[in-house]
Amino acid sequence: MAEKFSFEIIKTDPETGARAGVFHTPHGDIQTPVYMSVGTQATVKGVLPKDLKEAGSQIVLANTYHLYMRPGHELVKKAGGLHRFMNWDRPILTDSGGFQVFSLAKLNNIRDEGVWFNSHIDGSKHFFTPEKVMEIENALGADIIMQFDECSEYGVDEKYAARALDRTAAWLERCAAAHANPEQALFPIVQGNFFADLRLKSLEYAKPFAKHGIAIGGLSVGEPKPLMYEMLDVLQPALPVDVPRYLMGVGSPDCLIEGVMRGIDMFDCVLATRIARNGTALTSKGKVVVRNAVYKEDFSPLDDECDCYCCKNYSKAYLRHLVNAGEMLSSMLLSLHNITFLNKLMRDMRQAILDGTLAEFRRAFYAKYGEN
């Protein structure tokens, strides 16, 4: 069973604990640290899979809640599974839908047994249990599947956070018992909100189930960044060493850097494609809001250090025109660029870990990128 997945650490940075590794999965190897592109509804918005590969994406995320709602996990299974359905032959990870049930859907009733909620699409009533979520994730067939968890909001009190944590721990046991497919690696999720002792307690619950990897959830949910880093600092010494560590929902360039420097191996975030659709690019010199008048006659590429299809072929003036004209191509080109940018950032960090130059890399990056 364990042979389908294994994690090789090539080098650990002695100063920070940052790791350069390779995660072997049934659909291929993932060089870590890695940023995972988000394809919630079985498509990374605006990017063809062939271009996603060209952009350097090694793995994509899809969402259990969304795909259960539409088109339904049974249909995806009949289609031959998610890889075939969405034409992505590299690794896939499915989120458990826990976060969406608690944030996107209309919550009805949280019980130890599971959660009643109403669909955000048509209001229909549904009941998710750990067993149900495993059934869905097994049907979807991603390489990496997440446990069903309760992600408590930023700002709840310790008592509520503790209860959510306990529920998450109990659900983990039930997920592990219900999950049977050795082709899929189940990752437990560490919760505990912003209480250090709860985080460590949650980690202890999760550890016995962290055979192939472990995730940290419930961060980047509205808190100040220093608070997120503090939680990562609390967890780092206690995290299992021999499996990949995944920081969920985190993906701005600075958070990726700070996460890697705290021993995180995997990240995902909708930021790259979401801001692309709003006309914003991530570049080595910081964010570029393409609509700004200053780019009207700027015939240079978005980022002269980038070799993506967008930067090789288009000027900021053209991209600005597309944004102003409401043309879909702007979302397509900016998504492609932003994903390429984050993938390159991760590759560069990996190389810096291997070269022992991570601190310099970080300094040089911020010096150019700024603090935005």
- The catalytic site residues sit at 95, 268
For residues 199 and 316, which CB has a smaller minimum distance to a second copy in the complex? 316
For residues 46 and 259, which CB has a smaller minimum distance to a second copy in the complex? 46
Site for a second copy in 107-126 (CB under 8 A): none
Closest approach of Cβ 286 to a second copy, in Å? 24
Closest approach of Cβ 181 to a second copy, in Å? 22
Closest approach of Cβ 277 to a second copy, in Å? 9
| Residue showing tokens 């004209």 | 325
218 labelled as ligand-binding?
yes
Site for a second copy in 322-351 (CB under 8 A): 322, 324-325, 327-329, 331-333
For residues 70 and 363, which CB has a smaller minimum distance to a second copy in the complex? 70
Amino acid at position 176, single letter: A
Residue 278 binds a second copy (CB under 8 A): no
For residues 87 and 351, which CB has a smaller minimum distance to a second copy in the complex? 87
**Candidate residues 73, 167, 174, 320; the one interacting with a second copy per rule CB under 8 A:** 320
337 labelled as ligand-binding?
yes
Closest approach of Cβ 96 to a second copy, in Å? 19
For residues 39 and 259, which CB has a smaller minimum distance to a second copy in the complex? 39
Closest approach of Cβ 107 to a second copy, in Å? 22
Site for a second copy in 25-84 (CB under 8 A): 41-43, 45-46, 48-51, 66, 70-71, 75, 78-80
Residue numbers at the binding site for a second copy (CB under 8 A): 41-43, 45-46, 48-51, 66, 70-71, 75, 78-80, 85-87, 296-297, 299, 309, 313-315, 317-318, 320-322, 324-325, 327-329, 331-333
